[in-house]
Chains A and B, each alone.
Chain A
Amino acid sequence: MAETEILVPIDSEVDIISARRHGRDLARSAGFSLGDQTVIATAVSEIARNILMYAKRGEVRFRVVNDGDRCGLIVVAADRGPGIADVDLALQEGHSTAGGLGLGLPGARRLMDDFEIVTAVGEGTAITMRKWRGK
């Protein structure tokens, strides 16, 4: 089955809104519940804002995958920013290098079913998250 990928460049505040809207729209058209659309949009909002805050720019890509009888929405957020030196620490609730609530990464991880960070200091960060569609 052909997969469509949606790419949203992140370069300014309005792009955060644009990213979560695209995530929600794709989730809706793939048959996700309103609750899951909102969960996806909220997780996307957090990681898109992180790109803007810490890396200045980057991109968020969305795609729907069908795996047997399961359907999932995959979000990849990538930037070529400073990277994250200590991923375990960054994933701890309340840890923030910017005076934030430190909820973005741990919260997005809780919202989604799968969550993976690949990062290298000085090279950038790529976060892949997936949500499976409920039956």
Chain B
Amino acid sequence: MQVPILKQGSYLIASIQSSLTDSDLCQLRDALVGQVGRFRARGVIIDVTPLDVMDSFAVRTLRDLAHMTRLRGSETVIVGIQPEVAFAMVQLGLTLRGISTALDLEEGLAFLDSRTDEAHGRD
């Protein structure tokens, strides 16, 4: 299951479509880290709205991804964590410490605009 990555201005937007295997998640991480450099992206948005489970592996992979892209000069925002998923994550003991989150795609874009130079933001 490939995750489509869209380029919008100087941002990359990855919209997860369905449940992902561990390999899918690692592939997404590697693809985004690579594309951040190739497209000189200033920000990355990962939309996890369809994910009905965020377990320790998913969180670790997304956390690694956020840290790697940051080292490449790009800020990552996770958007669309569902309320029940957030509840289960907290119970499990998972935190997204050091990772930015936003309610949805629109908020995520607004967040990136505020973090990066707006002139370089959206088209």
Contact = CB atoms under 8 A, between A and B. Distances in A.
Interface of A: 13-14, 16-17, 20-21, 24, 34-35, 37-39, 41-43, 45-46, 49, 93, 100-101, 103-104, 106-108, 110-111
Given A103-B92, A106-B93, A107-B56, 5 more contacts: A16-B21, A20-B53, A46-B92, A107-B92, A107-B94
A75 B56 CA distance: 19
A75 to B, nearest CB: 14
Interface string B81-123: 0101101110111100000000000000000000000000000
Contacts, number: 73
A17 B22 CA distance: 10
DSSP majority for the A interface?
helix
Q: How large is the interface on B (under 10, 10 to 19, 20 to 34, 35 or more residues)?
A: 20 to 34
B65 to A, nearest CB: 15
Contact of A39 (B56, B88, B94): B88
Contacts of B60: 100-101
